[in-house]
Amino acid sequence: MSIKYLGLRPLIYPAPRLQESEAWWAKTLGKEPYFDDGGYVGFDLGGYELGLNSFSESPNGEVFGIIYNPHFKLSQ
Protein backbone atom coordinates (compact mmCIF):
# COMPACT_ATOMS: atom_id res chain seq x y z
CA MET A 1 0.00 0.00 0.00
CA SER A 2 1.30 3.45 -0.89
CA ILE A 3 0.28 6.46 1.19
CA LYS A 4 0.89 10.01 -0.02
CA TYR A 5 1.25 12.72 2.59
CA LEU A 6 0.59 16.28 1.50
CA GLY A 7 1.58 17.70 4.85
CA LEU A 8 0.66 17.58 8.49
CA ARG A 9 -2.02 19.98 9.56
CA PRO A 10 -2.52 19.56 13.30
CA LEU A 11 -0.32 21.42 15.74
CA ILE A 12 -0.79 20.10 19.27
CA TYR A 13 0.66 21.76 22.34
CA PRO A 14 0.95 20.11 25.75
CA ALA A 15 -1.23 22.05 28.17
CA PRO A 16 -1.12 20.63 31.71
CA ARG A 17 -3.18 23.65 32.88
CA LEU A 18 -5.77 23.14 30.15
CA GLN A 19 -8.43 25.63 31.29
CA GLU A 20 -5.92 28.47 31.57
CA SER A 21 -4.41 27.59 28.19
CA GLU A 22 -7.83 27.37 26.55
CA ALA A 23 -8.82 30.79 27.90
CA TRP A 24 -5.54 32.35 26.73
CA TRP A 25 -5.79 30.91 23.22
CA ALA A 26 -9.50 31.81 22.90
CA LYS A 27 -8.73 35.41 23.84
CA THR A 28 -5.64 35.56 21.60
CA LEU A 29 -7.39 34.01 18.59
CA GLY A 30 -10.69 35.80 19.17
CA LYS A 31 -12.69 32.58 18.87
CA GLU A 32 -13.88 29.69 20.98
CA PRO A 33 -12.71 26.12 20.41
CA TYR A 34 -14.83 23.87 18.24
CA PHE A 35 -14.02 20.84 20.41
CA ASP A 36 -13.53 20.39 24.15
CA ASP A 37 -13.78 17.05 25.92
CA GLY A 38 -12.06 18.04 29.17
CA GLY A 39 -8.68 16.56 28.20
CA TYR A 40 -8.24 17.96 24.70
CA VAL A 41 -9.29 21.28 23.20
CA GLY A 42 -9.28 21.93 19.45
CA PHE A 43 -9.41 25.23 17.59
CA ASP A 44 -10.18 25.29 13.87
CA LEU A 45 -7.96 27.86 12.20
CA GLY A 46 -8.87 27.97 8.54
CA GLY A 47 -8.89 24.19 8.24
CA TYR A 48 -5.83 23.69 10.43
CA GLU A 49 -6.03 22.22 13.91
CA LEU A 50 -4.53 23.93 16.92
CA GLY A 51 -4.86 21.41 19.71
CA LEU A 52 -4.24 21.66 23.44
CA ASN A 53 -3.58 18.35 25.17
CA SER A 54 -3.76 18.14 28.96
CA PHE A 55 -1.72 14.93 29.03
CA SER A 56 2.01 15.36 29.54
CA GLU A 57 2.43 12.15 27.55
CA SER A 58 0.23 10.33 25.10
CA PRO A 59 -2.22 8.05 26.93
CA ASN A 60 -0.81 5.16 24.87
CA GLY A 61 2.84 6.14 25.34
CA GLU A 62 3.52 7.28 21.76
CA VAL A 63 6.08 10.00 21.21
CA PHE A 64 4.96 10.68 17.65
CA GLY A 65 2.02 9.30 15.77
CA ILE A 66 0.24 9.55 12.47
CA ILE A 67 -3.24 8.17 12.15
CA TYR A 68 -4.11 6.60 8.82
CA ASN A 69 -7.75 7.16 7.90
CA PRO A 70 -8.78 4.81 5.08
CA HIS A 71 -12.00 6.79 4.54
CA PHE A 72 -10.22 10.07 3.78
CA LYS A 73 -10.00 10.77 0.04
CA LEU A 74 -8.47 13.75 -1.71
CA SER A 75 -10.65 15.35 -4.35
CA GLN A 76 -9.34 14.81 -7.86
pLDDT digits (tens, 9 = 90+) for 51-61: 898 875 655 55
Q: Give the residue extent of every domain in the chain.
A: 11-53
Class of domain 11-53: alpha beta
Write out pLDDT tens, residues 20-74: 999 999 999 999 999 898 888 988 887 788 889 887 565 555 555 444 555 556 6
Give the C-alpha separation, 39 to 64, whole Å: 18
**Residue burial 43-70, b: 16+ Cβ < 10 Å; e: rest:** beeeeeebbbbbeeeeeeeeeeeeeeee
